[in-house]
Amino acid sequence: MNRDDSPRSTGRLLLAAAPGGLCVVQDLLNTAGMPAASLPDLLADETSACNWLDVSLRTWSEQTGRDAPRITVSGDDLPALRDLRGLVRGWLTGGAENDAPHPLRVGVSYRDGRLAYEPSGDGAAAVASLVHLEALLASHTGALVRLKACRNPACGAAFYDLSRNGTRVWHDMKTCGNTMNLRASRARRQASPKPADQTPHR
Ligand SMILES: [Zn+2]
């Protein structure tokens, strides 16, 4: 596959990108494989990870109006990237534990009338710096709480909730929402005892 044709992790789910630099956080989450939809884990091998990162940094550059950081990853970075993805997912689902501070390697500069930053270094550590910083910035603007993981356990797609009250829990109501609501109502029916007038009499 030509690199330029590689589907972005979020793009392969037909989801809109989270605004600004937060898209790189969303893209990291959406590298996860989804067996039910025959989608592979993009962090399972070096080629797919490199393609994912190239496309994701390009989107980040387009959305932030800044030059894409030059970050490359190798096969050795894959375990750390998968750990980072798990950590970030925990932030969204409330499953994260308090952790030790993550050192960031970032250069901040004043350029063309505004403050800008760029991660320094390379590999998984540079990706982690970018992801942590974008999540931190988004947590200050209120955008991070709208980045959510679909509540369908077979899905988990990371989507940006644009609903007015910010209460969306499914990445797509038609697929995940209806499936899970149907399953929940079946479980409720099975759990609740039959009404007395419907209990067969001997
Ligand atoms: Zn979903």
DSSP string for residues in 130-168 = HHHHHHHHHHHHT-GGGEEE-S-TTT--EEE--STTS--
CATH code at position 8: 1.10.3300
Judge contact between 9 and 42, C-beta under 8 A: yes
Q: What's this model's pTM, rounded to 2 decimal places? A: 0.87
pLDDT digits 0-9 by tens, 118-143: 999 999 999 999 999 999 999 999 99
Above 50 in pLDDT, residue 21? yes
pLDDT band (50, 70, 90) for residue 189: confident
188 CA distance to ligand 1 middle (Å): 21
Domain count, the chain: 1
Q: CB 70: neighbour CB atoms within 10 A?
A: 10
201 CA distance to ligand 1 middle (Å): 44
4 CA distance to ligand 1 middle (Å): 26
171 CA distance to ligand 1 middle (Å): 4
| E-state strands within the chain | 106-111, 114-119, 147-149, 158-160
Domain with 50 in it: 3-198
20 CA distance to ligand 1 middle (Å): 23
